[in-house]
Structure 1
Amino acid sequence: MFENIKEGFVKFITSRAVIVCFVLFSLACILVYRLFSLQVINGEYYLDSFKLRIKKEKTIPAARGNIYDRNGNLLAYNELANSVTIEDVYKSGSGKNAAINETLNRLIDIIERNGDNVDHDFNIVLNDSNEYEFNVTGNSLLRFLADVYGHSSPNDLKYEEKTKTAEEVVDDLCKTFGIGEYETPGVSSSFVPRKGYTNDRALKILTVRYNMNANSFQKYIDTTVASDVSDQTVADVMENAYTLDGVSIEESTARKYVDSVYFSQVLGYTGKVSEEELAELQKTDSSYGINDIVGKSGIEQAMESTLQGTKGSETVYVDNTGQVIETSNYVDSVAGNDVYLTIDKDLTEACYNIIEQSLAGILVSKIQNVKTYTFTETSSSSNIVIPIYDVYYAVFDNDIVDIDHFSSDKAKETESRVYQSYLDKNAAVLAEIRNELLDKKTPYDHLSKEYQWYMSHIAANLYSDGIINSTLVDKQDDTYIAWTTDEVISLTEYIKYAIAMNWVDVSKLSIDNQYADSEEIFGQIVNYIIDELSEDFDFQTRLYKYLLLDGNISGTDVCNLLLEQEIVEITEEEQSLWNRGGESSYTFMVNRISNLDITPAQLALDPCTGSMVVTDVNTGDVLALVSYPGYDNNMMANGVDADYYAKLRSDNSNPLYNYATQQKTAPGSTFKIVSSTAGLMEGVITTDSVIYCGGIFEKLDHPPKCWIYPRGHGGLNVTGGIRNSCNLFFYEVGYRLGLVGNSYSPEIGLQKLAKYADMYGLSEKSGIEIAESEPQVSDEDAVRSAIGQGTNSYTTVGLARYVTTVANSGTCYNLTLIDKTTDSNGNLLEDYSSSVRNTVDMPQAYWNAIHLGMRQVVQDKSYYANLGVSVAGKTGTAQESKNRPNHSLFICYAPYEKPEIAIATRIAYGYTSSYAAQITKEALTYYFELKDTDDIISGTAQTLQDGATNAD
């Protein structure tokens, strides 16, 4: 029995089922043990080990230093802000581009829905015609193209790369980043760049992708999509984080500017460093990186090394969910140093406002209730009037009203009616242009002025678009001259001739047949012209001019557009008067300008710009450097607002241009102090020499005339010559300077004038720390150069250094905008002061004669009577164009007995020097506190006296 039991047991334990059960049981025990070990014994250890640990070396940006005025008033500072960033966490593969682009598309929707803007730090922008264009030129453009096409140097660019249009560059990059759609899925050759996106959205996605690509060589580097975003954007991004791979919110600082419009041209703004800037900065500081924020212009750029702090660093470990699990090796950043300017904040703001309200006063005095003004040979540039219809058109031409809103579903009554008039006009003009090109072929000189403008505009576009290759055009060709100079042939004839001469690039046209004949090519050009005009903002805007002149849009319509779009607000009393027809559209518009509801800058009619520089004559400090109009540099820092930047670029008043440091014009009669100095020092005149002015200078073959001709000034010494701004007196001085024995040499005369212009600092930049144009000392016609004509051309700040040297009797400073620098705790680091460039060593009797002449200039101005401070100055009028007003200039110093400040003022196309002198008088009144500020800065148009018509 035992044997049976034993045998049965052996069979049982050796059976396959038992073996299988045993194995399974053993495995179960092992599994239980491992689970116990993993979760209980070593649970915490393995949990930490399971979590993905990524080591990131992060830099901690330093706070940028503040900028203050000379009195410690804050001008630029930093504010805590949030930025939206994206990191490339996407898996490589065929679907990567589509995934990133989809994320960015949804992210941009969120950002813009909340009123924030995507940063635009790309060198291609959209213009008003919804076309791509470069926003850099020259070497900067070549550097950008080299970066785009992967070259280390612009010299490596192929011809076809360096000649790419902005649109072609965009399309190339869109292909690289997959921004578009495939017409046939899976077929790479069927990819259409930008398909499925607007031009605007494609550019925004492209900008981010380009910046992400620039960071691709560094791991775990975020790319900023939008800076200084609202709390709502932060909340929305975080709420949608699970669908926005790689997107996060980062704490940062935003650069802020106080009363920005007044100081934008001096301070400049900050932005992301470009490749070109980075290469330059790394020459002196290797710590700069591709994502750094640096000064892009103005003091921000000039004092970059001072304002830029020292970065900190830390080592961060993150898990597979992106959460920080450990931080080590923390090194704090060091804030940048502070910069104090020589600028006086209050004085600068006052001068800016004085210029603006004075420009408004000039405009109001020149506007007449007429449709047009025709300049004739007998017209004077000092008597040009502004037709009210030019004012009406400026409302459209300079984007005062939003033309796009006319076609929206929220458009109001006048907007809708005006838009319908526009549609009708647009259709009629396009049809007539097609008819003109294909059938009528009217010679240019037989066209109406309206259609002459259209044809000129079309021709210009054919050149700029590369349809007609301007490099191939023979400028001496008879047909070319017949079109451009003689204007006796039609545009059709010129285009067909260009085709025959192979000046046309057919590759830019939609021609499938490579053997197309000239008629087919011409037909495609006509189609191209019509298609392009349909999207051409300048053409579309111009239609409103002719709608106004034809009476299809009235002045009343323009005023109602301003009211409907809430561009202007009027009192209930005026609104009631307007509604019942008690106020004309002419009066309505003049009132808006008088009240500065619409500013000279917005109208962009002559004059709409001005500049003024105030210096301390005893130190060379610049107390005010004013350029009107300015802009809001808050919109340019922290990631450029693309829409605002586009508006600035298209603004006819050019607010991005520094009129105080970049604009150059002839100095007019302000140059006569140089000529006086040259004449006295070279011994061709003495303080007692008398030169007779009979009105005409007859020692040259083509005799120039004095401004007083046909009358004359009679006999004048140098003081009288300055006082009366006598052209003939200084013609004679210029002539004598060129005498070698009894022979006149204009070259010798020019050399002597240049010698003394150099002594006053006019041959070089003024010394200020921000960008400035190179001056031009005249190199032709010594006689006319002696009165500030010839090729003399100077900036306002250059004239300010010149008059500063006159005021202090010979000390020529290198002007400065920097007072001192301190650390973030206020400890002095460096005390700046202007350096002396040279001195003008001249007998005091000569200085006295010059100063007295300048004093008498001002004493003869009735508007300077009883000012309360004695002033010496010199007016200047410079003609640049016969059919535009003259430039208006004035230089001065005060007090006459013991000078403290000097001022140079220029009003481009400002009619008469009298206006610049009166504007300067108001600045002097403010500086010396001769009136209450409210009486000086009224906030309304300043009425100015008409000065005597002269050519000083």
Structure 2
Amino acid sequence: MSYDIKDFLKKFFSSRLFVLAAVFIVFFGIILARIFTLQVVNGKSYQENFSLKIQMKQPINAARGNIYDKNGKLLAYNELAYSISINDSTTYSSTKEKNKAVNAELAEILTVLKNNGETLNNDFKIDRKKDGTYSFNVSGSSLNRFRADVFGKGSADDLEYDKETGIDEANATAEQIMEYLMGKDNFGISSKYDGDLAYRIVVVRYAMLGNRFARYKEVKIATDVSDKTVAYVNEHMDTLSGISVNEDMIRKYNYSEYFSSIIGYTGPISESEYTALHKKNKDYTQNDTVGKAGMEQHYETYLRGKNGEQKFYIDNVGRISEIISSTDSVAGDDLYLSIDADLQKAIYLALQNEIAAIVYSNIKSGEIPINDVYTALIGNSVINTEHFSKAKASDTEKSVLSVFKSRQKTTLGKIKQELTSSPEALNTMSDEVLDEFTYIISMLKDDQVLLKNEIDTSDSVYQKWKDQKISPKEYLNYCITQHWIDISQLNVDEKYADSTEVYDALCKYILKNIKTDTEFSKIIYQYMITRGEISPRQLCLILFDQGVLDYDDATVNKLKNGSLSPRDFLMKKIYNIEITPAQLALEPCTGSCVVTDEKTGEIRAMVSYPGYNSNKLANGVDSEYFASLQHDKSSPLLNYATQQKTAPGSTFKLVSATAGLAENVITTSDQIRCTGIYNDISNKPKCWIYPGSHGLDNVFEAIRDSCNVFFYTVGNRLAQKKTGSYNDANGIDLIQKYAHIYGLDQKTGLEISESKSSVATEYPVMAAIGQSDNNYTTVALSRYVTAVASGKKYNYQLMNKIVDADGKTVKKYKADYEDISDTLTSSQWDAIHSGMREVVSTMDRFQGFDIPVAGKTGTAQQTGHANHGLFVGYAPYDDPEITIAVRIANGYSSHNAATAARNVISYYYKETSMKDIKEMKAAGANGNTGNSVAD
């Protein structure tokens, strides 16, 4: 035995196996020593070094500064609210498992959010239409960037044709992208989720995708959610992995409707905003909330404050493992505006009252047909036709829907016939069919199927279309041959389709889309009302059914039994402004007013009617509300004080008087005879008083009488001044010179969006009375009349002061000005001011009015529409303190604008209370509503 062992060992140690074993043993020993060194000897050091490599930081958002009026009334502030968020912190064994789990959780929470009436935060670049189709809500470079992000490319230049998916990435449609994202290789969204829910899951999953390399970051699903939603999440926290309730600061606005055009609103930062702001301030992140419009946007850097910072370690899958440090944020600065909030509100209501009075009076007189009121209820979405098909629809709504479906079927049949078998030229169509095809072409342009930028407007066939001499079929077929149609939007193979196939696909696209298009349906509804297929009584009852009006049993019963006519019912609601002019969107439905402190040049009120609820646009846009604003025919998103331009009417005659006096073509004592017609130029324009006349007028009397012939003569003399004979360009040069002195050819300096007014460029005789191509904003007219009253051309601004979080004034604002008082002598200024005083003294609107007011009216014509009514003035006449400019677009007469001005001035001087303004309603309807050009 001993020999055998000895012999075995001898053979083993002398064999190659021993050498191999020895090598393995040595290597194993080295590995053990290395592991000991790494984990025990140097373990702590390596752990620290590893942690340092994945140390991260995240901003702690600063509280946004408040906004106040001049008296310290709070207008914009932050409020604590709850938001629902999700993060991608859970680890899964496979993509399939992750998709199944995450989609199920999202389906659950998104269903809860919808049932509880919460709004989904949605910055996705694709919208889902009511018919279940998809469309892009961005275009150009933004759309290209979105496509690149979807397909994981560094830039749009890298997009290519993918043989595996069959998608041309650079031209991928919204439908293709949705199919791609919902596919098993991406979000894996099961067909068990209905179309709307699947879409909303994609919205959240795509937002989460942006955080795939920073899983500690949360995606906010919904903001300012109800206690009911918070309770649900808290109760189901164990099953809703990664979903949490967070405290959040949201932006809130007092006096929202009255200040929306000034203050604006906040919202999630866009890609372009981030790029611009990050260049100036590296603290900006792509998750920030920023000012989107108005003062919120202009003073973003002051309001924003300074973010704090939290530093932490994250693990290898991007989750926070340890908090290192935290630096507190510094609140933003507070803004104090020059605006008086109470005055702003009073003016808004006064404008609404006067506009309602005009509408009421014109319905009563027949100037506005009552049928226009009925159709407006549908046309401007006072009544929501989509509610007719809801489970909770009333019997009246269901009855109207039944009739509509029958009529819709007939209408779609006619449209199909026009597109295919029996086309007719536009000029032979009925008004109804013409309106329908006008909308269809507009829809194709909006959907970017008909490429309006590609259309050659000089093309002979296009000209025939504009002249209504060809049919839609002929026009659309021609558009296809000219490549004005984007074939990629249609369900055809671009490479092999001929023009007939493309046209067939286009027809199918049109018929499919108009069937579910709310705006197209409105056209059908409106003609049904006109034909009596839907009764006015049904419409009035639906106003109660949908909560547009507070339910009133007695009134409803009277409507049902016929003891109260729909006409009388609606007239009362319009009179009481329970249905507003903005809701009806008839002419007039808009107005604007600017009041300025004459002594300091500070704006005390700047009102645009109608406004909107900025609380619904802040903190993530309520997309349904925003869409309603965009379709609203009263255009509440437009600032009528700063962005709308119309002819100034006779308010411009003060410029002409200034030019005539300064250039010595008239003196204060010169008299010019008005015979009612001006015979010195070929078109022989008339005075507004024709066939009457004003006789002999000097400049003071001409301003009082607003005599056109006097100012035609001034314009003619200005055109002759330089050479002694009439020269159009020379006359315009002088008119432009004095318009410039008053600042009418410039923006006023406001911090918010403002259109530049336009001074006339031709026809000095007509320009002298405010016609030609003169076009001015209300705020420009305000600065102009302030300059007339004070001799100072102010640079306007809305800011009073900026105060930091500690109450220290950071910046104080004072309006600077240019002294223009030496443009005229004191006696010449007196003549203009006296004429303005006489304008007001002779107006019935100001009879018995205790405050002495000076002003000038203006009635500006607009072809095919009611005249615009304007008034500019100041008070008190003997020692001006405020100036005022009022415009009621399509307000029929300048006297209506003057009435609104009187009510504003009365409130300012406490002759009228806020209660009086509120109770006034449409009581101002007392004549002068005809479409007269009298001033």
Paired residue secondary structure (2:620): coil
Letter in 2 for 1:281: L
State the alpha-carbon separation in 2 of the partners of residues 367 and 478 from structure 1.
43
Normalising by structure 1, report the TM-score: 0.85
Paired residue secondary structure (2:919): coil
Paired residue secondary structure (2:589): coil
Paired residue secondary structure (2:279): coil
* C-alpha deviation, 1:589, in angstroms: 0.9
Paired residue secondary structure (1:825): coil
Letter in 1 for 2:379: D
Letter in 2 for 1:623: R
- Using the TM superposition, name which of 704-713 and 241-250 deviates more: 241-250
Q: Specify whether residues 706 and 206 from structure 1 end up closer, same or farther in structure 2 by C-alpha distance, changes over 3 A only.
A: farther
Letter in 2 for 1:117: T
Q: Deviations over 1:25-69 (max 9, x none)?
A: xxxxxxxxxxxxxxxxxxxx9xx99xx999653322111111111
- Is residue 2:157 matched to residue 1:174? no
Q: Deviations over 1:355-398 (max 9, x none)?
A: 1122111111111597xxxxxxxxxxxxxx21111111111111
- Is residue 2:118 matched to residue 1:113? no
Please, which of 351, 357, 360 is the counterpart of residue 355 of structure 1?
Answer: 351
Letter in 2 for 1:260: S
| Aligned positions of 1:793-872 closer than 5 A | 793-808=775-790, 810-841=791-822, 842-872=824-854
* C-alpha deviation, 1:866, in angstroms: 1.2
- Is residue 2:737 matched to residue 1:755? yes
Paired residue secondary structure (1:386): coil
Residue pair 2:99, 2:189 contacting (<8 A) in 1 also: no
Please, which of 213, 219, 225 is the counterpart of residue 229 of structure 1?
Answer: 225
Q: Specify whether residues 195 and 935 from structure 1 end up closer, same or farther in structure 2 by C-alpha distance, changes over 3 A only.
A: same
- Is residue 2:79 matched to residue 1:79? yes
State the alpha-carbon separation in 2 of the partners of residues 666 and 139 from structure 1.
37
State the alpha-carbon separation in 2 of the partners of residues 610 and 545 from structure 1.
26
Residue pair 2:159, 2:169 contacting (<8 A) in 1 also: no
Q: Give the aligned partner of residue 950 of structure 1.
A: 933
Q: Deviations over 1:62-83 (max 9, x none)?
A: 1111111111111111111222
Residue pair 1:759, 1:838 contacting (<8 A) in 2 also: no
Q: Give the aligned partner of residue 254 of structure 1.
A: 250
Q: Give the aligned partner of residue 617 of structure 2.
A: 636
RMSD after superposition: 3.4
- Using the TM superposition, name which of 503-512 and 354-363 deviates more: 503-512
- Using the TM superposition, name which of 284-293 and 607-616 deviates more: 284-293
State the alpha-carbon separation in 1 of the partners of residues 789 and 147 from structure 2.
50
* C-alpha deviation, 1:625, in angstroms: 1.0
State the alpha-carbon separation in 2 of the partners of residues 582 and 173 from structure 1.
58
Q: Specify whether residues 97 and 729 from structure 1 end up closer, same or farther in structure 2 by C-alpha distance, changes over 3 A only.
A: farther
Paired residue secondary structure (1:236): helix
Q: Give the aligned partner of residue 369 of structure 2.
A: 387
State the alpha-carbon separation in 1 of the partners of residues 811 and 885 from structure 2.
29
Paired residue secondary structure (1:283): helix
State the alpha-carbon separation in 1 of the partners of residues 758 and 158 from structure 2.
35
Q: Deviations over 1:583-613 (max 9, x none)?
A: 1111111111112221111111111111111
* C-alpha deviation, 1:951, in angstroms: 5.0
- Is residue 2:286 matched to residue 1:290? yes
Please, which of 298, 302, 309 is the counterpart of residue 305 of structure 2?
Answer: 309
State the alpha-carbon separation in 1 of the partners of residues 871 and 130 from structure 2.
37
Q: Deviations over 1:140-164 (max 9, x none)?
A: 888878887889999x79999xxx9
Residue pair 1:696, 1:703 contacting (<8 A) in 2 also: yes
* C-alpha deviation, 1:764, in angstroms: 1.4
- Is residue 2:404 matched to residue 1:404? no
Please, which of 319, 333, 351 is the counterpart of residue 329 of structure 2?
Answer: 333
Paired residue secondary structure (1:458): helix
- Is residue 2:263 matched to residue 1:281? no
Q: Specify whether residues 55 and 514 from structure 1 end up closer, same or farther in structure 2 by C-alpha distance, changes over 3 A only.
A: closer
State the alpha-carbon separation in 2 of the partners of residues 641 and 903 from structure 1.
35
State the alpha-carbon separation in 1 of the partners of residues 100 and 726 from structure 2.
76
Residue pair 1:143, 1:276 contacting (<8 A) in 2 also: no
Q: Specify whether residues 859 and 139 from structure 1 end up closer, same or farther in structure 2 by C-alpha distance, changes over 3 A only.
A: farther
Q: Give the aligned partner of residue 913 of structure 1.
A: 894
* C-alpha deviation, 1:814, in angstroms: 0.9
* C-alpha deviation, 1:714, in angstroms: 1.8
Letter in 2 for 1:942: A
Residue pair 2:214, 2:318 contacting (<8 A) in 1 also: no
Residue pair 1:83, 1:224 contacting (<8 A) in 2 also: yes
Q: Specify whether residues 442 and 833 from structure 1 end up closer, same or farther in structure 2 by C-alpha distance, changes over 3 A only.
A: same
* C-alpha deviation, 1:272, in angstroms: 1.5
Please, which of 895, 910, 921 is the counterpart of residue 929 of structure 1?
Answer: 910
Q: Specify whether residues 484 and 846 from structure 1 end up closer, same or farther in structure 2 by C-alpha distance, changes over 3 A only.
A: same
| Aligned positions of 1:348-747 closer than 5 A | 348-367=344-363, 385-470=367-452, 473-485=455-467, 487-499=468-480, 503-511=484-492, 518-569=499-550, 571-739=552-720, 740-747=722-729
Q: Give the aligned partner of residue 23 of structure 1.
A: none
Q: Specify whether residues 326 and 212 from structure 1 end up closer, same or farther in structure 2 by C-alpha distance, changes over 3 A only.
A: closer
Q: Deviations over 1:549-578 (max 9, x none)?
A: 111111111111112223213655434433
* C-alpha deviation, 1:905, in angstroms: 0.8
Q: Specify whether residues 75 and 157 from structure 1 end up closer, same or farther in structure 2 by C-alpha distance, changes over 3 A only.
A: farther
Residue pair 1:800, 1:891 contacting (<8 A) in 2 also: yes
Q: Give the aligned partner of residue 244 of structure 1.
A: 240
Q: Specify whether residues 690 and 469 from structure 1 end up closer, same or farther in structure 2 by C-alpha distance, changes over 3 A only.
A: same
State the alpha-carbon separation in 2 of the partners of residues 427 and 733 from structure 1.
63
Residue pair 2:61, 2:307 contacting (<8 A) in 1 also: yes
State the alpha-carbon separation in 1 of the partners of residues 204 and 806 from structure 2.
37
Q: % of aligned pairs identical?
A: 42
Paired residue secondary structure (2:696): strand
* C-alpha deviation, 1:938, in angstroms: 0.8
State the alpha-carbon separation in 2 of the partners of residues 419 and 462 from structure 1.
26
Paired residue secondary structure (2:827): helix
Letter in 2 for 1:355: L
Residue pair 2:785, 2:873 contacting (<8 A) in 1 also: yes
- Using the TM superposition, name which of 713-722 and 69-78 deviates more: 713-722
Residue pair 2:133, 2:175 contacting (<8 A) in 1 also: no
Q: Specify whether residues 473 and 935 from structure 1 end up closer, same or farther in structure 2 by C-alpha distance, changes over 3 A only.
A: closer
Q: Give the aligned partner of residue 34 of structure 1.
A: none
- Using the TM superposition, name which of 404-413 and 141-150 deviates more: 141-150
State the alpha-carbon separation in 1 of the partners of residues 71 and 829 from structure 2.
34
Q: Deviations over 1:498-543 (max 9, x none)?
A: 4555655544433459655555544443333222221222211111
* C-alpha deviation, 1:922, in angstroms: 0.5
Q: Specify whether residues 466 and 142 from structure 1 end up closer, same or farther in structure 2 by C-alpha distance, changes over 3 A only.
A: closer
Q: Specify whether residues 626 and 498 from structure 1 end up closer, same or farther in structure 2 by C-alpha distance, changes over 3 A only.
A: closer
Letter in 1 for 2:701: G
Q: Give the aligned partner of residue 66 of structure 2.
A: 66
- Is residue 2:296 matched to residue 1:300? yes
Residue pair 1:173, 1:206 contacting (<8 A) in 2 also: no
Q: Specify whether residues 526 and 279 from structure 1 end up closer, same or farther in structure 2 by C-alpha distance, changes over 3 A only.
A: closer
* C-alpha deviation, 1:414, in angstroms: 0.8
* C-alpha deviation, 1:135, in angstroms: 6.1
Letter in 2 for 1:482: K
State the alpha-carbon separation in 1 of the partners of residues 933 and 713 from structure 2.
19
Paired residue secondary structure (2:420): helix
Letter in 1 for 2:426: Y
Q: Specify whether residues 789 and 415 from structure 1 end up closer, same or farther in structure 2 by C-alpha distance, changes over 3 A only.
A: same
Letter in 1 for 2:663: E
Paired positions, count: 875
Residue pair 1:215, 1:290 contacting (<8 A) in 2 also: no
Q: Give the aligned partner of residue 765 of structure 1.
A: 747
In structure 2, runs of 5+ residues without a counterpart are: 1-43, 162-167
Letter in 2 for 1:718: V
Normalising by structure 2, report the TM-score: 0.86
Residue pair 2:122, 2:203 contacting (<8 A) in 1 also: yes
State the alpha-carbon separation in 1 of the partners of residues 868 and 108 from structure 2.
52
Residue pair 2:903, 2:912 contacting (<8 A) in 1 also: no
Residue pair 1:181, 1:195 contacting (<8 A) in 2 also: no
Residue pair 1:914, 1:946 contacting (<8 A) in 2 also: no
* C-alpha deviation, 1:904, in angstroms: 0.7
